[in-house]
Amino acid sequence: MKYSTLVEEYRGGVLENVHYGVVCGVNERGEVIYSSGDDMHIAFLRSAAKPFQAIPVAKQKIDEKFGLTSREAALFAASHRGEAYHMEALESLLKKTGIAEEELLTNPTYPLNDEPKFACLSQGVAKRRLFHNCSGKHLGFLALSKERGFSTDDYYEIEHPAQQEALDAFADLADYPREQIQLGVDGCGFPVFALPLKHLAISYLKLACPDLIEDQETHEAVVKITGWMTENPDIVASHNFTCTALLEDPNIIAKGGAMGVYGFALKKERISFALKVIDGSELVWPLVIASILTQIGYDNEATIKRLQALVPEEIKNDNQRVVGEKRAVFTLEKR
């Protein structure tokens, strides 16, 4: 297996950490045009699958049938962080769909972001299923199951018809045989897909360029989902996160997943990238993606600067003294 050195971290001029990984870029013909490492490396999508998992929900027009706002519907593809604006939209989702919080499989927890988490602890607020960062996705599948007359007590099992529809939709967009997609169980209990990074990149390009999707119903669902994401970047993640920084650029569709996997696509340029940090780090995503955009000559400097601001190259200690640096060191091979 061929990996590239993506990011190096130095302290006092001494190499302290190395992050290895793979980067793959494709064009609208599904051809690999940029690479660093083995573009056929198989990776689990984790939460990078959420826009695709939302396709059967959007096809059923759950947003229209329950009178959801774009902000509420964006939670179906989100990895929310439990901020007040996330919880307001989630509470509204519960009310409008008539779903009881106890119906969610998600394990009761506290918000992922520090500020709302500490607020819960200081105010004695109990853990909730709704605080889980995947609760929006689960609400979408519960609403879909109720609308379609599917069972709701096993909505998270791969054999469930809603899960089968999501798998079918993803395989189609990825141009990859359904039976070859490897399956696991995600942290929230949902099925999770694994396939080569090349095909993850292909699937993301179709999110950004839905004219490449032949099935009209899927095309319309993807337009709807990506619209929700573009209109509500802070809902998809939260302030000071990679997904939000990228989605603030209307030319980009992006979503990351746990353990270092990321997919993003450029609408105007009609190219897409998938990457995997082998040690699972998400902290170096902004460095890697900013380097990709710089290397391909992306013309939106504001987007690159937003990414660079998330993870400055300078390493500071607890006293805010500069003690080292980290930098992306890979070079994209152009094919």
Measured between alpha carbons, how far is 135 from 155 in angstroms, rounded to an integer?
A: 13
- Read out DSSP for 131-189? TSTTHHHHHHHHHHHHHHT--STTTTSTTSHHHHHHHHHHHHHHTS-GGGSEEEE-TTS
CB contact at 8 A, 245 and 292: no
The CA–CA distances, whole Å, from 334 to 33, 34, 35, 134, 242 equal 6, 5, 7, 36, 25
CA distance 231 to 242: 16
Q: What is the pLDDT of residue 335?
A: 87
For 14, the enclosing helix (H) or strand (E) is strand 14-26
What are 134's two structure tokens? 């995947």
- Report, as ranges of residue numbers, the positions in the chain whose pLDDT lies below 70: 1
Supply angle C-alpha 240, 203, 24, rounded to 5: 70
